[in-house]
Amino acid sequence: MEEIIQKYLEYLKNVKHYSERTISSYYFDLSKFNQYLLTNRLDYDHLIDKDVQEYINNLRLKHYAISSLNRKIVCLRNFYKYCCVEIDNNIFNPMINYKTLKSPIRLPKDLFDEQIKVLIQPNEHKKEYAIRNQCLILLLLNTGIRVSECANLDIIDVDLIDNTVRVLGKGNKERLVFFMPSVSPFLQTYLQEIRPKLIKNSNEQAFFIGSKGSRLTTRAIENILNDRAKQSKTPFKVTPHMLRHSFATNLLNNDVDIKIVQELLGHSSLSTTQIYTHVSKAKLKKVYEDTHPMAKALKEIKQGN
C-alpha cells in the first residue's frame, strides 16, 4: 500500500494542487491506516464497510476528537475514490456510503477591538521588522486571507492603485480581495524602503520577506502575531485564523451579504461561511442581554433574592 500512497500524494500535489500542510496530513492519516491494516492482516483493496467501521471505532476508543475522526474519514473517502478511478476499477470502495460524524458547531473566535489595537501597534526594536509586520497584520485584517495565502503572495499580486490583492486559494482557485485605501501608504513604504533591505536575491518575487532574505513562512507569521500579543498589558492568545474570523464577523455585523463574504473568504461552500452568522448572532444576543433595561432589572431581582 505504501507505493499507492506515494502515488496518491503525488496526485494531490501535481493535479489537485493541495498545500504541503494538507498533503502532510493526508500522509499521516494514510500511514496510520496502513499500520492498522498490517497489524490486523488486512489488504486495502479487499476491505468491506465493516472493516472501516472497526477502524474508526478503534480510533474512538483512543479518544480521538470528532473533528480528527472526520478528517480521517474524508481522507480515506478521497483515497479510495482515487484508487477506484486511477488504480483499479474493480476495487471495492468501502467508503462510498460512509458519512462523516455529526459534530457540535464550534463557533470561531475573533478578536476584541482592544486586542486588534495591540496587534497593529509596532513593538519591534528593528525598524524594518516593525514596518513589515505592520503591513502584514493590516493586510490580514483588511482582506481576511488565509495565512498560507498571505505567505504565498508575490509582488505582482498586490495592486496599490486599485487596492486589491490577487489570491491563489485552496484548490488553486484565484480570487480578488480588497484593502482600505488607508493601508496603501504603509504597503508603499514597505515596498520602496524596507523590502529592498530585507531581500538577499534581487530575483526574489515574494511580497513579504523573512529574516533570511527569502519568503516569510506561515510559522514566522504566527510568531509575529504572538510576539505582539505577548506585549499587551493583558497578554492573549492569537492565531492568523482569528484575524480572518474577525474580518468575516465584522462584515456580517455590518449587513454585508453572506454570498459576498463567501466570495471574499474563498469558501467553496456557503455552509462554511454560515458559521460566522452564529458568531454574529451570539454577539448580538450578548449585547442585548447586557444592555436591555428589562435584562438589567431581572439581574438585580435575582441578586436581591
Task: Report the catalytic residues.
Answer: 146, 170, 241, 244, 267, 276
For 198-220, letters b (16+ CB in 10 Å) and e give: beeeeebebbbbbeeeebbebee
Q: Which residue has the cell 476584541?
A: 112
Cβ distance 184 to 160 under 8 Å?
yes
DSSP 133-189: HHHHHHHHHHH---HHHHHT-BGGGEETTTTEEEEE-GGG-EEEEE--GGGHHHHHH
3-state class (DSSP) for residue 209: strand
The maximal CA–CA distance of the chain, rounded, in angstroms, is: 73
For residue 5, the one-letter residue type is I
What is the rounded radius of gyration, in angstroms, for the C-alpha atoms of the chain? 24
Question: How far apart are alpha carbons 23 and 298 in whole angstroms?
Answer: 54
Q: How far apart are CA 237 and CA 7, in angstroms?
A: 39
* Beta strands at 174-178 and 164-168: parallel, antiparallel or unpaired: antiparallel
